[in-house]
Amino acid sequence: DELLRDHSKFINQTTSKILKNIGKYSKHYIDILEENKIFNEISPLIKKRFNCDVEVIIEIKSEHKKASQALPGRPAIVME
């Protein structure tokens, strides 16, 4: 499949990271929409605690280079 071939390096790296850290993942799976909802709900608390603006962006919509490091259940958090 050409689509997979175009992303083969990313697929190999991501699969390797997941398998390397398999024991560190929770047994309870939260999908991306639920995870996004949770972060949006707690963003006012983070804003108040750290006195900063908070923006929650899902990986596929983010242009930040760290977004590609996000894994299932392990979001990429960027503080600027």
Distance of CA 19 to the CA centre of its chain: 16
* pLDDT for the residue 5: 77
Give the chain's domain count. Answer: 1
54: which residues sit within 8 A by CB, 6+ positions away? 43, 44, 46, 47
pLDDT in tens, 18-64: 777 776 666 667 788 888 899 899 999 999 999 999 998 888 888 88
- Domain membership flag for residue 23: yes
* pLDDT for the residue 67: 82
Contact 72, 58 (CB under 8 A): no
The structure tokens listed for 48 are 């108040």
* pLDDT for the residue 57: 87
Provide the domain limits for residue 53.
2-69
- Domain membership flag for residue 49: yes
Residue 1: band (very low, low, confident or very high) from pLDDT cuts 50, 70, 90: low
55: which residues sit within 8 A by CB, 6+ positions away? 43
- Domain membership flag for residue 78: no
